[in-house]
Structure 1
Amino acid sequence: MNLVAAIEWAEGYHRRGLYSPMGVAFHWVMAALMIFQLAHGWYLEWQPVGGNKYVGYQTHTQIGLTIMLLGTLRLFWHSQLSGPGNVDGASLTGKASRLLQTWFYVSFFALPISGWVMWSTLPSDLPLSVAGVIPFPNLPFDQLSEGLQHRLMQWAATTHFWIVWITTLVIPGHAGAAVLHYVFKRDRVLPSMFDLNGPRVPGVVGSAPEKGSVAGPPRT
């Protein structure tokens, strides 16, 4: 399936007010990774200094770089689609939703980058990689003075700290808003994040097959 066919396939879901399986997969995979990272980061803070903590920070940084890669792919995918339009963008809830979404994208990049900066100021020979597969270099901070490296570490650590705290508070707000949409507004914002059956509109790309029929590949 080429990109044009994949976009048309996803738009078939959006025309029915649903998120595409690709969008749903991006959402839940990245949500799981972000929640794990927040918990793992707090866990590492309480660990005694030593080799295990060092290796833990290496793993933490590598998962962060993976989130940054997925965030890049998700941003590109999102930019190609019109979206299901389940929320009125001009309403207060629509503006709040857009603000939260923007913050999440900021965190997808700001947290890994600040973590990368911190790791690059440490005297370590442990290599970095994306998802444990794609090698990723350290920043060339070893050429800088110790004082400048220390200031970079402090800047990155402070930035990381505040973004972590804000994101920790934003996630429950995001989840709570989805539940409120479902309970009070009775719209499809929350159900559409779980419904992968596709639009049931004959002839629409992405439609679920009729009973007794065999689903074919998306048309190009």
Structure 2
Amino acid sequence: MKAPKKISELSKSITESVSCIEQINSDIQRAETASQEAAAIATQLGELSRERAERKAMAFVNKTTADIADLNAREEELERASRQAIEDGQAATIAIGMLVEKRDGIVVEVEQLKQERRGLTVEWLKQLRNDAINRYIRVLGDIGEPLADAFAADRAMHALGAGEYLVDRMIKRIRVADFAVPHSHKIQRSDVNIEIYDAPVPWLRDDTLGDVETQVLADELRKAGLNITLA
């Protein structure tokens, strides 16, 4: 009971697409980090500017010269880093938009693949179920043969005074039993004016079940010297 190859192929495509989505998410995180670095440097430059202004203000109050050489050196270093970071950040922002668009497209494709796989799987399972029900019905049909043989033997035993129509009662009970055959697999009777559906098991409604086997068995017994009449 092997699943269709197409289902496995669709599952493989889904797995590959999901892996691609995960990689895109990772790339988006890297791009966001680059964008955040540019913002962080801009914040540091702003803090340096404020600190320089505070030192100049303090020097003005104290009538001294503000010592801002270290701040200027740090600012030059940050500005160099900022130029690269800002460029990288802008590129990252653009990349994020492209990556998100690409990811959204793949997400749609994955959903379509899943729907296709589900539909294919359901159809396959329906076929499996239908085949299994048909096998079940064939088994029900096969039950008629041993019942007919047993019924013939039962009749012969009764003719010899050793039977009690055991199988006859069995058959009567079986015929009113519910074999749980789905309606979709039943057949409509053609000899009545109302809609009646029966299980496609001919012997269930065959009033002559066992008659042929009974005649054959009677002939065999006669050949063996038992001249009996079977009912």
Instruction: Tell me, yes or no, whether TM beats 0.5.
Output: no
- Bigger-Rg structure (1/2): 2
Higher helix share: 2
Normalising by structure 2, what TM-score? Answer: 0.29
Relative contact order (alpha carbons < 8 A, sep ≥ 6): 1 or 2 greater?
1
Q: TM-score, normalised by structure 1?
A: 0.30
